[in-house]
Amino acid sequence: MSLHKMSELSGRRILLGVTGGIAAYKSAELIRGLRKAGAEVRVVMTEAAAQFITPMTLQALSGWPVRQNLFDREHEAAMGHIELARWADLVLVAPATADFLARMAAGMADDLLTALCLAAETRICVAPAMNQGMWRNPATEANVTVLRQRGIEPWGPAEGDQACGETGPGRMLEPEEMIKRVVRLFSGAAMNGVRVLLTAGPTREPIDPVRYLTNRSSGKMGYALAGAFRDQGAQVVMISGPVHLSSPQGVDVIRVETALEMAAAVMDRVEGFDIFVACAAVADYRPLEAASHKIKKEAESLQIGMTRNPDILAGVAALPKPPFCVGFAAETQHPEEYAEQKRISKCVDMIAANLVGAEEGGFEKDENSLTVLWEGGRVVLPMSEKSCLAEALVEQIAKQYGKTDTAQDS
Ligand code: PMT
């Protein structure tokens, strides 16, 4: 653990959840490392965890009594599980068993750890540890997908030899790796206190009460960006079109449906924000009029008159005191060329071009790649998971925003 400087996690409050798996013995090393890096650590164990490691060991290492019971008279009189949830800057569950992930995905609160995870408004990270067959089981896969949609990205598992004698994915990440990730999480000084407003997802433009025009945006890219800004310390408000994703923890989400609603939600709030990112796939046109009743199937052909929607990004960039503006460009051909035209015509500071409608990347997929352009500069962010890509894009935005911010200050 000597790799970590004493101060890296200084003042950080980490609530470590330990569930019942053989990897629980590694929790001891994890606590030591986190404390060595300066964090205050409190431990909550499930009943099963106590079969693998004693509360006394974890109490001695953390320096605090280990909490095990939801119905603990002494603490629960003061709503102890809520207090614990509020106390933590980070809830880290390591090891997280298949059973725990299932109970968390189901939103259960029948023991102290699940109850405080449900109550927590702070970031929650889980480090799965289980037999490789359990990890690959569709039930576990479905539970992990639900957790991902809620912004809980699992840390690991790693692949390798398992305690049961099998080989495959399911090993808990090593404590050293987890400590590095915790440090990275909290080293988000790049965006500390910066206020970010972003749009995400598609819009729906009603034709009649039952039909609408929309596009293929799933919201994955925008939601990943919201999480990446949050992880870098930003205060994030996201105006989201209709998607099947849960709100990322710690992000204020305002849900809208149409382009006009999205435009109003942005314009009403944008004052006071430092950065505006337009990731939403906003419909350029809407039906001139939405019929008040379902259109009957009578005529052989049907024409729907359309009118232009306001351009939200261009509108924000044209404000007298605009925030630092970042746009996206979704193109089916010549992405960089068209993106550069959009960057200039909409007067935005940066634009991220992506190819849509191809085999890989773009709408709906879990992966994407971007070419990011700004005045006199360009960087290619290669195909990767949207969560990783979002981290890389936020890093680029932080660099360019930092330059303008310093220029304004001086
Ligand atoms: O949601 P996913 O499935 O993860 O897919 C991600 C994505 C492909 C939607 C995303 O990466 C992306 O490219 N988003 C922008 C989509 C888009 O509408 O691009 P555009 O080239 O049509 O628009 C250019 C820019 O103007 C965009 O920043 C857009 O948000 C903005 N715009 C467009 C029209 C409008 N009326 N108002 C706007 O603000």
194-206 pLDDT tens trace: 999 999 999 999 9
354 pocket-lining for ligand 1 (C-beta < 6 Å): yes
Q: pLDDT tens per residue, the chain (410 residues)?
A: 444 555 789 999 999 999 999 999 999 999 999 999 999 999 999 999 999 999 999 999 999 999 998 877 666 555 577 888 899 999 999 999 999 999 999 999 999 999 999 999 888 999 999 999 999 999 999 999 899 878 787 888 988 888 888 888 899 999 998 998 898 788 766 788 899 999 999 999 999 999 999 999 999 999 999 989 988 889 899 999 999 988 887 788 999 999 999 999 999 999 999 999 999 999 999 999 999 999 999 999 999 999 999 999 999 999 999 999 999 999 999 999 999 999 999 999 999 999 999 999 999 999 999 999 999 999 999 999 898 899 999 999 999 998 765 555 44
What residue type is assigned to position 351 of the chain?
Answer: I
Closest-CA residue, ligand 1 atom 13, reads 330
Closest-CA residue, ligand 1 atom 18, reads 281
Domains and CATH numbers, the chain: 13-186 (3.40.50.1950), 195-409 (3.40.50.10300)
Predicted local distance difference test score (pLDDT) of residue 124 = 93
Predicted local distance difference test score (pLDDT) of residue 409 = 46
45 near 25, Cβ under 8 Å? Answer: no
Predicted local distance difference test score (pLDDT) of residue 159 = 81
| Count of CB atoms situated within 10 Å of the CB of 331 | 18
329 pocket-lining for ligand 1 (C-beta < 6 Å): yes
78 near 113, Cβ under 8 Å? Answer: no
| Backbone torsions φ then ψ of 129, nearest 5 degrees | -150, 120
**Marked catalytic residue, from 164, 279, 347, 388:** 164
Q: Taking the mean position of all CA atoms in its chain, how far away is CA 154?
A: 12
218 pocket-lining for ligand 1 (C-beta < 6 Å): yes
Q: What element of type H or E holds 356? A: none
Choose one of 223, 238, 306, 313 to mutate for the ligand 1 pocket test, by most ligand atoms within 8 angstroms of C-beta.
Answer: 313
26 near 54, Cβ under 8 Å? Answer: no
Minimum-distance ligand 1 atom for the alpha carbon of 220: 4
Minimum-distance ligand 1 atom for the alpha carbon of 364: 3
Please give the model's pTM, rounded to 2 decimal places.
0.69
131 near 160, Cβ under 8 Å? Answer: no
Task: Respond yes or no: is residue 325 known to be catalytic.
Answer: no
- pLDDT tens, residue by residue, 124-134: 999 999 999 99
